[in-house]
Amino acid sequence: MKILTIIGARPQFIKAAMVSRAIVERNRRGENPTVAEEIIHTGQHYDINMSDVFFRQMQIPEPVVNLNAGTGMHGEMTGRMMAAIEREIISRKPDWVLVYGDTNSTLAGALVAAKLHVPVAHVEAGLRSFNKRMPEEVNRILTDHVSSLLFCPTHAAVDNLSKEGITSGVHHVGDVMYDAALVFGEIAAHSSTILHDLDLTPGQYYLATVHRAENTDNPDRLRNIINAFNVLEDTVILPLHPRTRKILQRVFPSFLSPHSSLRIVDPVSFLDMVELEKSARCILTDSGGVQKEAYFHGVPCVTLREETEWVETVEAGWNQVVGTDPEKIIVAVRQARAGTPIDEYGQGNSASNVLQLIKNIKS
């Protein structure tokens, strides 16, 4: 059996790492049929700290090709990916195309495979923010509707698909990101030096990430976020995506005030990010994946969006969704505390569940 895995962005590298490890382990045990995996990297994230380092640190098999299709507007980028992916699928003749999450890479791979009548398996299916202004929401809806196997991380995701009439091929498998948190959290504790390098004390700093277009492309929202960061009592560590840094420098040149608690750093490697997450007092983010990673590491989260697809983290008290109003952000951070356990994400065997289901279904 041949699986063609299509990835292009940080969250997908992490998820794919766990399934790739499950494939290697299964083949090592000599189980039949042998599973061959080929990875296509679309190039959606092309900064070395956001791409190449991930492959080395997480021991993901090297991609068979990098499409270098990571620039341009959404339509241009997605179209360029689709043209290149189509050639690769026709040439490589996979039994399954495996996609992850909700990026342009996800949608491009799913649409091309469906049009070529190659079955699509979607890891992290069924998530909904119910905000179609988010490109990610459009990507995940379309991907789910052309997929043959839909691997849901939560029961809410299964329910979302059912409400859209999708019931065939739907499986609650847990969350492969939880698998990754268990594996790489332990590795980071022994190998990362980021706390020493940045002179940080565990529990005495905040960690922030800001990258979504709804925040970075809106000067008022971005200014509100930075203003909130500037007045928090503890240091705010912000590993800043190069694109966001350029926007800040253009529209908000004074974002680092003389008495600011905000500390901008370059994008960090995967294991360093894990260590920063584990040791933070609180995490502030507009990322979907980082919300969950906060919970996995037992750290409260403040989400800088108007909604979240990870509703269970809010219901359990780990996550507060506050938007970008500075006062709401500051109050939420001061109120942030641990919540109750979430029994949704599995026992660290989600990647094995994914592989087992693909193996058991003839393409």
- Please give the positions annotated as active site: 211
Query: What distance in Å separates the CA atoms of residue 26 and residue 214, rounded to the nearest whole number?
Result: 41
Q: Which residue spans within the chain are E strands per DSSP?
A: 2-7, 36-41, 65-66, 96-100, 120-123, 149-152, 170-172, 205-209, 235-239, 262-265, 282-285, 301-303, 319-321
Closest CA to 285 of 341, 238, 252: 238
Taking the CA atoms of the chain, what radius of gyration do you get in angstroms?
Answer: 20
Q: For residues 108 and 6, is the Cβ–Cβ distance under 8 A?
A: yes
Nearest one of 90, 140, 153, 143 to 118, comparing CA atoms: 90
SS (H, E, C) 169-204: CEEECCCHHHHHHHHHHHHHHHHCCHHHHCCCCCCC
Give the burial string for 347-360 (b: 16+ CB within 10 Å, else e): ebbbbbbbbeebbe
Say which amino acid occupies 316: A
Residue type at position 8 = G
Tokens standing for residue 90: 């026709």
Give the type of residue at 103. Answer: T
